[in-house]
Amino acid sequence: MADTTHSALAPTYHPLPITIARAHGTHVWDTDGNEFLDFLSGYSALNFGHLHQGLVAAAMTQMRQVTLTSRAFDHDRLEEFAQRLVEVVGPLTTGGENSLVVPMNTGAEAVETAIKAVRKWGYDVRGVPEDEATVVVAGGNFHGRTTTLVGLSDNPTARDGFGPFTPGFRQVPFGDLAAVADAVDDTTVAVLMEPVQGEAGVIVPPDDFWPGLRELTTKQDIALVADEIQSGLGRTGTTIACELWDVQPDLVCLGKALGGGIVPVSAVVGKPEILGVLTPGTHGSTFGGNPLACAVGVAALDLLSTGQYQARAAASGKVLKERLDALVERGLLTEARTIGLWAGVDLDPAFGTGRDLCEALLERGVLAKDTREASIRLSPPLSIVQPELEMALDILEESLIALRGERSAGASNEAATDADDEGEAAEAAEKAEETEAEAADPTDDAADDVPDATSDDGAVTDDDSTAQGTDERSELSPTAG
């Protein structure tokens, strides 16, 4: 194991205390050979599991041919990749079979590409005055880490210290259709939102929200852009999450799982009237759509084209929801939000933070990640089998019980310690009073004149203080008696 006493890495992450050395399917192993179930899946980049053999084979085959040409030249996998995306995702957008594709690398690049496209479309097609285009976004969003995208965030950790931010965005509460309607005007070129907010804790909007957005944006000739970087490609039991509400967005941003956990691959797919405004020189990427990315992307789309992974996510998601709802009913969780094979769970802050729960899970062999202070998200590979899922949920229950027990025991021990301290203080005060009385009249008979220890001065007798301390310890401490 490498010496990590002094890291050369900038401290941009606070990882859980595990160093992974090997992975396969739903499992990973650390440098000491300990085995863990992966319930994060690289924030859904590993929807197909670690080192899926079909994806690895596609990558290895392509690596023997050509891996990068830049977009200065075409290569033999690029059009194949674009056509496959149009076949699988195009019909789920308003672009249909005529959809266009802009291949990129990371999710943030895909969202930035969509923003550029809708702005230029607004100017060139809609006639919005130059530099006045606005985009409506949602509070609680996470679209990426670029300066533009953190400017859309209301998370202080992600946002503070990185301004000034790009103008032209209006933020409204997620799920509030009336607020969106109030925010749009003649300058609005797009509504950009995640169908389900993953980083915020798997926040699912009201069922009428996305259909309402579609109706509103169509009526106002505004582009509807769905950021499906985390929610797309099978996670919600559908190819894209918007299908859950029978909504076709104009543009879909895809990433993470599109690269199969092997290479970063992202893309924007959708309406040709919008993406067609990006002409030569207006946008590009050296690595976007490279041969290796396209080969892996095609293989990932082939896996999704059968519907098998979507069906598994839907079926396993029912088990996940049932088990998590039961934990809520028992009071071990305060809330659980489940959609497909994806869940955000909240625990009572009195019993620990999301980080505390993740560390408790880690100790028992399950990997998960906290989102907000007292929340974690659960997103295992879609390939997980029911015994693995049930085992991980058993471990979650065990971890929650352990956290509650630790906090309850800690509170009891603290209360018992306080009681001991109070008893000792009262005893010392009583002895001090006796000493003062003896100094005033040292004769034995004068002892009868010592004030009663329970008189108006508030002192407590030695016998009373001992009894009080014993009673409190017996009632509060789990080890008393």
Q: Which residues make Cβ contacts (< 8 Å) with residue 153, sequence separation at least 6?
A: 141, 142, 143, 159
Element (H, E) at 38: strand 35-38
Locus of tokens 């659960």:
378
What are φ and ψ of residue 293, in 5° steps? -60, -45
Give the separation between CA 442 and CA 444, rounded to whole angstroms.
Answer: 7
The 3-state DSSP class for residue 438 equals helix
Q: Verify whether residue 165 is a known catalytic residue.
A: no
Q: Verify whether residue 431 is a known catalytic residue.
A: no
Note if the bond before 164 is cis, omega within 30 degrees.
yes
Q: Both tokens of residue 87? A: 């076949």
Note whether 259 and 299 are within 8 A (CB).
Answer: no
What are φ and ψ of residue 278, in 5° steps? -85, 95
Q: List the catalytic residue out of 81, 120, 209, 227.
A: 227
Locus of tokens 């009681």:
419
Closest CA to 95 of 198, 240, 266: 240
DSSP notation for 403-428:
HHHHHHHHHHHHHHHHHHHHHHHHHH
Q: List the catalytic residue out of 48, 81, 142, 351.
A: 142
Q: Verify whether residue 174 is a known catalytic residue.
A: no
End-to-end alpha carbon distance in the chain? 47
Locus of tokens 């009237």:
273
**Which residues are marked as active site?**
142, 227, 256
